[in-house]
Amino acid sequence: MKLIFASHNQNKVLEIQNILGGRYDLISLNDLSFHDDIPETEETLEGNSLLKATAIHKQFEMPCFADDTGLEVEALDGAPGVYSARYAGSNKNAEDNMNLLLKNLANHSNRKAQFRTVITYKTNQQLMQFEGLIQGEIISEKKGEFGFGYDPIFVPNGASKTFSQMTMSEKNKYSHRSRAFEKLRSFLESK
């Protein structure tokens, strides 16, 4: 089955292909030579995910899905949340985002946080949303060399390593994204 993943992020594409397995032919926006940026103008993860899936489905008229993910930090009233990718500015620099988050948490003892992913699946006949969530904590210094985004400073509950210290298969045992995509996979396989 061919599925468009409405993302330019090759790290995410590899991660999701690993979760979905060989039964699906995952097509990224790069594969389609679609290089436009779809502005994330909604105030929720659900809204941004829907916006991206709808735009790509309209353009290519194939089954597609899009995701939006946010890191929600308890001591910062859920920030950066929907603004996670552009927390430190519109250049979407992961290092800058992590540095700003660590700075903003410097005087907080509460380091509880959660990653939340919302996926929107869109076809001509269907529109579905799936959520994945993982709780954990923000550590005070970056650790690890794998992953992307906030992975070097997030340790999921039940683990002793950051996402960035884990292999892809280890991360997928915990990951918010893998939990949401497992729900999508179950839905696709039930059809």
Domains of the chain: 2-189 (3.90.950.10)
- Higher per-residue pLDDT: 95 or 39: 95
pLDDT at 37 over 80: yes
Whether pTM exceeds 0.85: yes
Determine the average pLDDT of the residues in 165-174: 89
Q: Which helix (H) or strand (E) holds 17?
A: helix 10-20
- Per the CB < 8 A criterion, the answer to whether 101 and 150 are in contact is yes
Determine the average pLDDT of the residues in 61-70: 95
- C-alpha 56/C-alpha 138 separation (Å) is 34
The catalytic site residues sit at: 68
- Per the CB < 8 A criterion, the answer to whether 130 and 118 are in contact is yes
Please list, in sequence order, all residues whose beta carbon lies within 8 angstroms of the beta carbon of residue 51, skipping any fewer than 6 positions away. Answer: 38, 40, 41, 42, 66
Query: What pLDDT does 99 receive?
Result: 96
- Per the CB < 8 A criterion, the answer to whether 72 and 128 are in contact is no
Query: What pLDDT does 95 receive?
Result: 95
User: Which has the minimum average pLDDT: 5-9, 19-23, 65-69, 129-133?
Assistant: 19-23
Pairing between β-strand 127-138 and β-strand 64-73 as defined by DSSP bridges:
unpaired
pLDDT at 177 over 90: no
State whether residue 155 is helix, strand or coil: strand
Query: What pLDDT does 191 receive?
Result: 72
pLDDT at 70 over 90: yes
Q: How confident is the model at residue 189 (pLDDT cuts 50, 70, 90)?
A: confident
